[in-house]
Chain A
Amino acid sequence: MSTLHIVSSSPFDSNAFSSALKTASQGDAILLIENGVYAAVDALQIDNLMSGAMPDVTHYVLTEDVDARALPRLRNNIAKVDYAGFVALVCQHHNSVSWN
């Protein structure tokens, strides 16, 4: 029973991303959308948030929202998906939780 954690607010605005990191268990996935995509940036602050996070959780980011914000460099442990990939992730996991 795996869960898809959908994070839609910036890690600089809310604890949504941290909460998802803390809650996700082995086999879960985290998908960053809307302002949540700021957690995909390759930056020291994000590395700090990620330290101690569960290792077997795959991270994804929604390409459309990355492009809309013209984000420069993404961290290399994250995969880009489009809306079709978003739908596929929802289907692959038994449940989804939306973090704001």
Chain B
Amino acid sequence: MIISVMVTGSPVSQQSAQTALSFCQAALTAGHQIYRVFFYEDAVQLGSALNVAPQDERNLNAAWSEFVKQYELDAVICVASALKRGILDDGEASRYQKPAANLAEGFDISGLGQWVDACLNSDRVVSFGA
């Protein structure tokens, strides 16, 4: 089946980003296709390349970035949520004249229309987080 996933929970204070990652891995293992993963609200923090996890904790940002690169998934960070939280790609950084961009490898910044498109083109959609 074609599955799309929305993640909304903060990776630093909620379990949902970890749950969503385990779900996506299990879906691919079962032979399903992931059409898109859409990161919304506090989950856009997963797109930052600048977070540093303590040595004895799992680095969820790195785990997600590795996962979407490994399987060449379409991983979209919501632009409105991202800009508010200081997650910028090169284009947004230059548009708003910010000193740096910090979008991690494997992610794209785009709009909520990408989620509408995912809903239209997927057999199943699942949402993780508050």
Residues of A at the B interface (CB closer than 8 Å) are 6, 8, 33-35, 64-65, 82-84, 86-88, 90-91, 96, 98, 100
Contact between chains at A96 and B125 (CB < 8 Å): yes
Residues of B at the A interface (CB closer than 8 Å) are 1, 3, 15-16, 19, 22-23, 25-27, 29-30, 32, 123-130
Contact between chains at B19 and A33 (CB < 8 Å): yes
Contact between chains at B124 and A83 (CB < 8 Å): no
Contact between chains at A86 and B26 (CB < 8 Å): yes
CA distance A71 to B8 in the complex (A): 27
Contact between chains at B16 and A8 (CB < 8 Å): yes
Contact between chains at B19 and A87 (CB < 8 Å): no
Contact between chains at A87 and B27 (CB < 8 Å): yes
CA distance A98 to B32 in the complex (A): 21
Question: What residues of B have a CB within 8 angstroms of the CB of A100 in the complex?
Answer: 129-130
CA distance A66 to B124 in the complex (A): 25
